[in-house]
Amino acid sequence: MRSPNISRRQFLRAAGAAGAVAFSWNPANLERVEAATQAVANKSPEEVARDEFYWREVQLGFKLDRSLINLNNGFTCPCPRVVLESAFRYTEMINMLPVHYQAMVAGNIETIRRRMAREFGCDPEELALTRGASEALQIAQNGIDLQPGDEVITTEQDYPRMLTTWDQRMRRQGIRVTRLQFPVPATQDYLYKMFEQAITPKTRVIHFCHITNLTGQLFPVQRICRMARARGIVTIVDGAHALGHFPFKLRDLECDAYGVSLHKWLLAPIGNGCLYVRREMIPKFWPLQAAPEQQDNDIRKFEAIGTHPWGIRAALGEALAYHQAIGAERKAARMRYLTLRYVNALRKYPRFKVLTDMSEPAQAWGVAACYIEGIDVRALANFLRKKYRIITVPLVGGAPPNQVFDYQALRISPNVYTTLEEIDTFIEAMEDAIKNGVEEDVFMPVASGPAAGEVLV
């Protein structure tokens, strides 16, 4: 293992001794992460993933409750300090004279739109900023014209709120919604053929996750979208758990619409999301709230919601800067490293099972689902929280009236601020459960239906 002193010298050399002294007193400063990244610039993402000195600099950028171990980052992630301070700063500024500063901050959001588009690979005129993935996806779901009898194909493992949105259109307009079920993990070929074989002459939309919020199942997005477009079918992709999680470019997916929650893996303040719409498809989607006809071709029509939370929106710029300071490849490599650390440590126990594809090339990063044979996952989640103060999400199937899942699992999702000690505590806790069992008299709430799914996952 490399000496911490050597890493320290590299860090100081990259930052400059005077600069290090200037900002070392404030762990919230973005410059700490930028300087640490310069110090490891000649190393591969996989090498950086194992460099604990580097990730200590990243971890210092967060203000957390370390008396608990948060392995439910698939819900909503904490913001880095610099992002939270930015949201406070903009909100305070707007509050001083809203009629003046609100308009100024709103106008400056165009800079963030351009930066987001450049980072994630699309035209700025194809990217709308929203309040989350649910809003972004509902714009696309409710905005596409459909007639009674038209078919939408989705899956049983899509996000509950999005399934509820299609169900409401089915009740109101008489469209048909086909939900496909699939085993986990599933191969890319299996998922592609599943959609291809389900298409009928009435199919108008295919809606699916880039990766699911449940087991982190990765879908072959580009292949499915190419196949659908060749048949004149619109594609809507749920990217709530993908953007900012692992590297890719939006334009390369070739989908028609893509919705994201930026308060997840991009670490933005709660209330940030985005919607990508392929340029030629913009006029084919109605906005969620009314916009003037002259905006039919304008991506900004999807942002027409009345008064915006501009302070929260403006802080997105700092979240993007923090993401860029680490680098998408390094970030993804670290999360995969943390995931493989506990998976590989626990695989020696035959009762430990994983429902997420861990093969190469990478199919999983920071979201994975696992369980222990013979132990109810609700009891296991309760045991982890009560004895080890570890927060996880139990996924349980068979909830009436619909059989949504056909498995039980814990969803485990660390993040860039997660320490090796916390991962090793999770390993210790799971070994304890395997060897000694857990009490099963008290169960935790579970993600088993639309209401629970929206709250917990």
Flag residues of the chain having pLDDT under 70. 1-28, 397-406, 441-457
Compute the distance between CA of residue 250 and CA of residue 126 in angstroms, rounded to an integer.
Answer: 10
Which CATH number belongs to the domain containing residue 362 in this structure? 3.90.1150.10
CA nearest 129: which of 103, 145, 111, 144? Answer: 111
Compute the distance between CA of residue 169 and CA of residue 148 in angstroms, rounded to an integer.
Answer: 10
Compute the distance between CA of residue 157 and CA of residue 366 in angstroms, rounded to an integer.
Answer: 18
Q: Answer yes or no: do 29 and 150 share one domain.
A: no
Domain end call among 288, 319, 350: 319
Q: Answer yes or no: do 119 and 232 share one domain.
A: yes
- The answer to whether 347 touches 356, Cβ cutoff 8 Å, is no
Which CATH number belongs to the domain containing residue 109 in this structure? 3.40.640.10
Q: Answer yes or no: do 312 and 357 share one domain.
A: no
Q: What is the pLDDT of residue 26?
A: 60
- The answer to whether 295 touches 281, Cβ cutoff 8 Å, is no
Q: Answer yes or no: do 205 and 315 share one domain.
A: yes
Q: Answer yes or no: do 269 and 343 share one domain.
A: no
In a domain, 229, yes or no: yes
Q: What is the pLDDT of residue 439?
A: 87
Question: What is the pTM (predicted TM-score) of this model?
Answer: 0.90
In a domain, 345, yes or no: yes
Q: Answer yes or no: do 180 and 313 share one domain.
A: yes
Count structural domains, the chain: 3
Domain residue limits at 239: 85-319
Q: Answer yes or no: do 165 and 277 share one domain.
A: yes
CA nearest 129: which of 324, 286, 277? Answer: 277
CA nearest 390: which of 401, 380, 375, 399? Answer: 380
Q: Answer yes or no: do 382 and 309 share one domain.
A: no
- The answer to whether 249 touches 256, Cβ cutoff 8 Å, is no
Compute the distance between CA of residue 251 and CA of residue 228 in angstroms, rounded to an integer.
Answer: 16
In a domain, 28, yes or no: yes
Supply angle C-alpha 400, 403, 404, rounded to 5.
110
In a domain, 308, yes or no: yes
Q: Answer yes or no: do 170 and 286 share one domain.
A: yes
In a domain, 224, yes or no: yes
Q: What is the pLDDT of residue 455?
A: 40
Compute the distance between CA of residue 250 and CA of residue 276 in angstroms, rounded to an integer.
Answer: 8
First to last CA, the chain: 37
Q: What is the 3-state secondary structure (H, E, C) of the chain?
A: CCCHHHHHHHHHHHHCHHHHHHHCCCCCCHHHHHHHHHHCCCCCHHHHHCCHHHHHHHHCCCCCCCCCEECECCCCCCCCHHHHHHHHHHHHHHHHCHHHHHHHHHHHHHHHHHHHHHHHCCCHHHEEEECCHHHHHHHHHHHECCCCCCEEEEECCCCHHHHHHHHHHHHHHCCEEEEECCCCCCCHHHHHHHHHHHCCCCEEEEEEECECCCCCCECCHHHHHHHHHHCCCEEEEECCCCCCCCCCCHHHHCCCEEEEECCCCCCCCCCCEEEEECHHHHHHECCCCCCCHHHCCCHHHHHCCCCCCHHHHHCHHHHHHHHHHHCHHHHHHHHHHHHHHHHHHHCCCCCEEECCCCCCCCCCCCCEEEEECCCCHHHHHHHHHHHHCEECEEEECCCCCCCCCCCEEEEEECCCCCCHHHHHHHHHHHHHHHHHCCCCCCCCCCECCHHHHHHHC
Q: What is the pLDDT of residue 102?
A: 92
Q: What is the pLDDT of residue 8?
A: 45
Compute the distance between CA of residue 151 and CA of residue 180 in angstroms, rounded to an integer.
Answer: 13
In a domain, 69, yes or no: no
Q: What is the pLDDT of residue 350?
A: 98
How many Å separate Cα 286 from the centre of its chain?
25
Q: Answer yes or no: do 28 and 142 share one domain.
A: no
Compute the distance between CA of residue 239 and CA of residue 7 in angstroms, rounded to an integer.
Answer: 36
Q: Answer yes or no: do 240 and 109 share one domain.
A: yes
Q: What is the pLDDT of residue 11?
A: 41
In a domain, 211, yes or no: yes
What are the φ/ψ torsions at residue 382 (nearest 5 degrees)? Answer: -65, -40
In a domain, 68, yes or no: no
Q: Answer yes or no: do 208 and 100 share one domain.
A: yes
Q: What is the pLDDT of residue 307?
A: 87
